[in-house]
Structure 1
């Protein structure tokens, strides 16, 4: 493989880790870049290989958040187990069928999300829901199933969808949502990695160098997010949603 290709992929992976650590959605950067630079790889090979840097970057970001943000360990352990299982199932399905039919639906969801976040200035600025323990558990497990399966089957934007779910459904502020989303995202990535390793879909020659760069980006991004707080994360969230809109809009109308 040409050296310049590895360099470009590593740069994309660094920025992916940086963005993902702040608000999720790093896959919206490194996934299309990898597909462009390695057009002969199957979707399963691309997604499978990128799970390694995604896991690496998320791990470093998670460590930074754990030092500063309170975590509901009991709830997150259940979410991690469920999301792991559904990510494994989603990745298994990816090796069998195409995921293109999901893109128009995601485009509509992202349009609504961008409008809502832009209009509601206090969205994610503070905790605003007091759900009962049973309701919180129900919604948490539902989120884990849906987002876990999505991450295994499609991938890009998973962190952003998790942040959105923690904010809008469970009532977290952006900072706590980002921290908790990282924990769940670790489980979804690991579930996918287990499947892709068993299927031999990971290209280690690109996965390992990208993992180091993603980890560095995740480390720096998480430190910046913790320092700047909720308002900064909200702006970053909007930027990532717009990026996702452009990405899926191109896939739906031009690809």
Structure 2
């Protein structure tokens, strides 16, 4: 890769991962299409993107650890409940028509944005709910289902986890974004990258250093901004990103 393409890849990775770290998902909006635009086939681009996205979780985790805002118990719960779904989804995607999957995902993500937009007070304050045994079991099934989407699709599934944590467990947006970035960005994407690689999609290692740097810096910067800003602003960023990603996925079909 020449210098100009390397700079473009870094800038794209930095922007996409900063937005994802601030809003709780969506790094694949820019990063994944950019990999395809630069010449990687779908499967290789997906595996390469998953590996690079792990650095998003690392960057965000470093910032949230310094701030002491992360619930490690819930982080472990999200990782474990979603892991099986991620592995299953990673094996499904290589044999499933990607255009159908991305169209369905686009519609679902737009629905998330509309729902959040209509619920004015959603995620503004923590309201501890569904954290008993029954609620945790149902929540685990929900996270496992989202894990299937995460393992198989390229962009936006972190937004599902963010809104699920807000709606089902009553976290505010700041807490939900922090949990999502570390659980999904670091662990689900790491598990997904390994599963996709084992399923037969190779990783394009020459581009990994540039992508890792952009993801790491973007994750840290987005987490820094999320800590400074209000839940209301983060909610608005979340909603904006759902509409952008959703319509982008639908537009790509045409």
TM-score by length of 1: 0.90
Partners of 1:46 and 1:182 lie apart in 2 by: 21
Cα drift, residue 102 of structure 1: 1.8
1:149-169 CA deviation, whole Å, 9 max, x = no partner? Answer: 111100301221111111112
Quote the residue 1:233 is aligned against.
234
Q: Secondary structure at the match of 2:127?
A: coil
| Partner residue, 1:201 | 202
Give the match for residue 12 of structure 2: 12
Q: Contact between 1:139 and 1:170, CA under 8 Å: does it hold in 2?
A: no
Runs (4+) of structure 1 exceeding 4 A deviation are none
Is residue 12–residue 31 contact of structure 2 (8 Å, CA) maintained in 1? yes
Note the alpha carbon deviations across 1:12-58, whole angstroms, 9 max, x for none: 100111011111111112112222222xx321101100112210122
Structure 1 residues 94-119: Cα deviation after superposition (integer angstroms, max 9, x where no partner): 23333322233223323322222223
2:56–2:216 CA contact under 8 A, matched in 1: yes
Partner residue in 1 for 2:190: 190
| Residue of structure 1 equivalent to 2:176 | 177
Say yes or no: does 1:126 pair with 2:134: no
Give the CA deviation at 1:145.
0.9
Describe the superposition over 1:166-207 as per-residue Cα deviations: whole angstroms up to 9, x where unpaired: 111221100000011123202211111212343451001112
Q: Please tell me whether residue 45 in structure 1 is matched to residue 54 in structure 2.
A: no
TM-score by length of 2: 0.90
- 1:143-182 residue pairs with structure 2 within 5 A? 143-182=142-181
Structure 2 unaligned segments of length 5 or more: list them: none
SS at structure 2 position matched to 1:128: coil
Distance in 1 between residues matched to 2:68 and 2:122, nearest whole Å: 19
Q: 3-state DSSP class of the match of 1:169?
A: helix
User: Structure 1: how far apart are the matches of 2:93 and 2:106?
Assistant: 20
Question: Secondary structure of 2:97's partner?
Answer: coil
> For residues 204 and 51 of structure 2, what CA distance do their matches in structure 1 show?
10
Residue aligning to 1:217: 218
More displaced stretch, 242-251 vs 88-97: 88-97
Count of aligned pairs: 251
Partner of residue 116, structure 1: 115
Q: Is residue 128–residue 172 contact of structure 1 (8 Å, CA) maintained in 2?
A: yes
Cα pair 2:103 2:249 within 8 Å, conserved: yes
- Distance apart, 1:129 and its partner CA: 4.5
Q: CA RMSD in A?
A: 1.9
Structure 2: distance between partners of 1:197 and 1:3? 28
2:56, 2:181 within 8 Å by CA — same for their partners in 1?
A: no
